[in-house]
Amino acid sequence: MPKLCEFENCRKQASYGYFYQTPERCKEHKEDRKSQYRICRCGNTRPYYKLADDKRASYCIKCKTDEMFSIRKGICKENNCNTFSSFNFEGEEKGLYCSKHKKINMICVTTRKCAENKCNIHPIFNYEGEETGLYCLKHKKKNMINVRDKKCLENNCNNIPSFNFEGKSKALYCSKHKKNNMISIFANKCYESNCNYYP
């Protein structure tokens, strides 16, 4: 039996309530309460699962039954996994499983691939001035550069930066163009305080 709105003399079904609580009001009398379609019937989290005949999702991953499916596109098909799917067999375009649950011989089908025939590596190389990668490191053409990663701040330098001043987290210069007193911010330094040598 559906719960009715608690507002005096109201006979409408309650579908609005406070965050993660039982619905207590109808739409007309909701005040600052939220729609409980946004909360699983257990009251703990958002619902993403429904039966084929249901109009809306009513259950979270913990409360769903085996015959329910996710309304979110691209969710891993593995039971009780709520991770986005990006793996399937070669030639397919839609991901079915996440990296943890992918089956043998499955590849990532949701990202761009190297333009070289039968290469499934993500491309990051192209000619200077281009923004989208066409080839991977193995198949890049002559004079192609890495167009995905940040470049050294020095003019006409296409090296990847790894140096900056101590205390900074963003690399600005490559090893060739680093300024005096700059250190590599990616390398593991000695644990001793004030020591910038590498173990």
Same domain, 144 and 116: yes
Confidence category of residue 1, pLDDT binned at 50, 70, 90: low
pLDDT at 100: 93
Q: Which pLDDT tens digit goes with each residue over 13-33?
A: 887 877 656 788 888 998 888
This prediction's pTM? 0.45
In a domain, 182, yes or no: yes
In a domain, 14, yes or no: no
Same domain, 160 and 196: yes
User: Can you give the chain as a three-state secondary structure string?
Assistant: CCCECCCCCCCCECCEECCCCCCCECCCCCCCCEEHHHCCCCCCCCCCEECCCCCCCCECCCCCCCCCEECCCCECCCCCCCCECCEECCCCCCCCECCCCCCCCCEECCCCCCCCCCCCCCCCEECCCCCCCCECCCCCCCCCEECCCCCCCCCCCCCCCCEECCCCCCCCECCCCCCCCCEECCCCCCCCCCCCCCC
Same domain, 159 and 188: yes
Number of domains in the chain: 3
Q: Which pLDDT tens digit goes with each residue over 131-151?
A: 889 999 999 999 998 888 888
Domain that holds residue 144: 111-148
In a domain, 67, yes or no: no
pLDDT at 73: 67
Q: Where does a domain end: 88, 110, 132?
A: 110
